[in-house]
A and B are shown apart, each in its own frame.
Chain A
Amino acid sequence: MIHVTRLSIELTNHCNLRCRHCADERHGCEGDLKMETMEKVLCNAGAYGFEHLSFTGGEPTMHPSFFRILDMITGAGYKFSFVSNGFNFTEIYERLLPYRDKLGGITFSLDGADEETHDRLRGKGSYRRVMQAISVCLVKDIPFNFNSVIVSFNREGLADMAELAAKLGSCGLRFGHLTPTPSSIKNDLVLSPAERREAEAVILRMRETSPVTVFMAPGNYTSFLFPCAPLEMQEFNIDWRGNVTMCCLLSGHGDASAKGDVIGSLNDITFSEAFEMLAEANMKFRREKEAMYSRDRFKDSDHFPCWYCLNYFGKVDWLRDFHEDPWHDTVWTDQIKRRENTNAGTQ
């Protein structure tokens, strides 16, 4: 049996912020992961070698049974971590303390080294809230690190973010590229492919000099075809609806028809069935990517692996209507046409 290291669970679709870069569906406030699904996961995950669960959202700490879930998973021997905007941390941290020895760390989203930049993306007051969260972590000895999305107005401040992370005693700083959303285009946040590569070069240099561990989330320009945990079958993702999906980065993106990344729902199928279906979908993806590459049908932009996935799963079809966007010309229009023809044929 394959052993997978990471189990990533989107606990809820509720969120207390409305960040400018975030897909509407990600904070749609429609629901939370059902406890039955969580129980089902816990009954099965051990057999697949999972030892660590990581929670995301929405804002995962807003799941109405967040602490009951922590009770369940730590009771079953799992370690955990979660990513949070830190906004409600001063209200919840006390209840987190009993689970500290099983807590691998908290990833706080930090999108600017200063208040103005961070709040420009995440809303007024959010920087001070995340700094309050850090204050608590510092005195309570809770390990934390930062996740930063590179956008047009913070890309000049990447080194400042690393300096801030180091001074605050963060365990690390992870930079990630922005997945385009209609809102991020409207707010002029998107970097062109060339600008992305410039940012990557800065980060690469920073890795050698920065006093804090700096790294890039998957998604940077690369000649590796399968450069990330999900594509290496080292990550199993479950969204708040209970769907097993190819990758948490794809969840909530694209329109209602772009659901090719959804493998199946744990409400309908067993964990092991979902696992097999995921392995199959993964193999198919790998075969097709390899074939496309070897037939020389790769565009330069397809070397950004998340961009490739977004196209593969039809999650950026809407970008066709944004002619001014720097990614507009790199969207896989042939594939869209093929899909449209297939759909027309089946109607």
Chain B
Amino acid sequence: MLEPNNMVKPHCDVVSTELENKEAVLLHLGTKKYYSLNETGLCIWRMLANGNTPGRISEGLRDEFDIPAVKANESVINLLKELLHEKLIEIA
């Protein structure tokens, strides 16, 4: 279960690639599946890769996209859950 203060980090088997259009691709070297991140997803990915907690990432997202706190929290938690499920991130 993911808590707001849990530190998460990219899974060691994941190769991330930023694209020219503010999107990114994550390729899992184990499953060989790839996933696309949109602009919001990329913003979250960058912050988690920089060692931020979900709470800090949510604040960052609010600042970046000027969205309400509830919406930012929801976006962060939903994405992190999905990334965890696909083993693209792990709890640090």
Q: Do A and B form a real pair?
A: yes
Residues of B contacting A164 with CB < 8 Å? 32
Cβ contacts under 8 Å, B83 to chain A: none
Task: Check B69 for interface membership: any CB of A closer than 8 A.
Answer: no
The verdict on A131 contacting chain B, using a C-beta distance below 8 Å, is yes
Which residues does chain A contribute within 8 Å of B15, judged by CB atoms?
Answer: 128, 131-132, 135
B19 within 8 A of A: yes
Interface residues of chain A: helix, strand, loop or mixed (majority):
helix
- Contact check, A138 vs B25: say whether CB atoms are below 8 A apart: yes
Find out whether the CB atom of B29 lies under 8 angstroms from the CB atom of A94: no
* Distance of A111 from chain B, by nearest CB (Å): 16
Verify B27–A134 contact, CB threshold 8 A: yes
Interface size on A, residues (CB 8 A): 16
Please name all residues of chain B whose beta carbon is closer than 8 Å to the beta carbon of A139 when the two chains form the complex.
19, 23, 25, 34, 36
Question: Is B78 located at the chain interface by the 8 A CB criterion?
Answer: no
B85: shortest Cβ distance to chain A, in Å?
Answer: 20
Looking at the complex, which one of B25, B26, B32 makes contact with A136 (CB distance below 8 Å)? B25
Residues of B contacting A94 with CB < 8 Å? 20
Given A94-B20, A128-B15, A135:B32 Cβ within 8 A:
no
A-B contact count (CB 8 A): 34
Please give, as numbers and ranges, the residues of chain A lying within 8 Å of B19 by CB-CB distance: 136, 139-140
Write the nearest CB–CB distance from A92 to chain B, whole angstroms: 11
Residue pair A131, B36 in contact (C-beta under 8 Å): no
A138 near B34: Cβ-Cβ < 8 Å = yes
| Shortest Cβ gap from A264 to chain B (Å) | 43
Please measure, in the bound complex, the distance between the C-alpha atom of A136 and the C-alpha atom of B27, giving whole angstroms. 10
B6 close to A (CB within 8 Å): no
Residues of chain A within 8 A (CB-CB) of B50 are none
- Contact pick for A131, options B18, B20, B23, B29, CB 8 Å: B29
Binary CB contact string for chain B from 3 to 32 against chain A (1 if under 8 A, 0 otherwise) = 000000000000101111001011101001
| Contact, CB under 8 Å: A132 / B32 | no
A115 on interface, CB distance cutoff 8 Å: yes
Residues in chain A near residue B26, CB distance under 8 A:
135
25 contacts between A and B (CB under 8 A): A90-B17, A90-B18, A94-B20, A114-B29, A115-B29, A131-B15, A131-B27, A131-B29, A132-B15, A132-B17, A132-B27, A135-B15, A135-B17, A135-B25, A135-B26, A135-B27, A135-B34, A136-B17, A136-B19, A138-B25, A138-B27, A139-B19, A139-B34, A139-B36, A164-B32
The 7 closest A-B pairs by CB, nearest first: A167-B32, A135-B25, A132-B17, A135-B17, A131-B15, A94-B20, A135-B27
Beyond the given pairs A115-B29, A132-B27, A135-B17, 8 more chain A to chain B contacts, judged by CB atoms under 8 angstroms and listed by A's residue number, are A90-B17, A94-B20, A131-B15, A131-B27, A132-B17, A138-B34, A139-B19, A140-B19
